[in-house]
Amino acid sequence: MLNSFLTTLREKKTDTADFRAAAHKLAELLAAKTGELIPEEKVKITTPIAKGQGSRIPHEIILLPVLRSGLALLPAFLRYFESARVGFVGMKRDEKTAIAHEYYRSIPPITKKSLIILLDPMLATGGTAVDTITLLKKAGAKESQIIFVVCISAPEGEKIIRKKFPKVRMVIGAHDKKLNAKKYIIPGMGDFGDRYFNNL
């Protein structure tokens, strides 16, 4: 399923409605994969029939979409983590230099119980992700408290994140080949935000 949603996203002739639908379905699968990385703790429960044992996530989840593309993943993650706090980081990529600059930041308080799920569909050079993880660490997060969710990664970006932040866990839909001269992922899917927000 994951690959068929990715194929719809990659295909140039996919229209906006189908692109959005595929992005939302892929996000559901990535949310489920993210859930599998979160250890649960045992709790006592009472069913209508008997006492028993269940398990719950002991963390306070913070969902952190990177504006604007990360917003596409947010609805699916809210369905899984329905009482999560939501923060935002706004990063705009300069089309000439491919370097992102921060234009907005709203991060909920980070405590020992926080687990931050960082949402950004495209991991290209890794510049945006390095800046965002760095600011999360300055705000008090440990690397082990961060899970980074990506639809498609380029080796360049993945390598830099794994090297700089070895304890950050990553959930990645597909590992693509490389970046082109304009720092777009090859084969990738073009500009995710422009296609999702119908801004081409």
Extract the tokens encoding 90.
Answer: 């706004």
79 versus 177: smaller Cβ distance to ligand URA: 177
174 scored as a contact of ligand URA (CB under 6 A)? no
Q: Which residues sit opposite 61 in a β-bridge?
A: 115
Smallest distance from ligand URA to CB 170, Å: 16
Q: Where does the chain show beta strands of DSSP type E?
A: 41-46, 51-56, 60-67, 85-86, 88-93, 100-106, 114-119, 122-123, 146-153, 169-175, 178-179, 185-186
Which listed range, 17-25, 59-67, 141-149, 186-194, lies at the site for ligand URA (CB under 6 A)?
Answer: 186-194
185 scored as a contact of ligand URA (CB under 6 A)? yes
60 versus 158: smaller Cβ distance to ligand URA: 158
Give the active site residues: 93, 97, 191, 194
Smallest distance from ligand URA to CB 29, Å: 19
Residues 106-135 contacting ligand URA, CB under 6 A: 122, 124
156 scored as a contact of ligand URA (CB under 6 A)? no
157 scored as a contact of ligand URA (CB under 6 A)? no
**What are the Cα distances from residue 97, in Å, to 92, 93, 182?**
11, 8, 8
Spatial separation of the C-alpha atoms in residues 43 and 65, rounded to whole Å: 30
Spatial separation of the C-alpha atoms in residues 138 and 45, rounded to whole Å: 38
| Contacting residues toward ligand URA, per CB under 6 A | 122, 124, 184-185, 188, 191-193
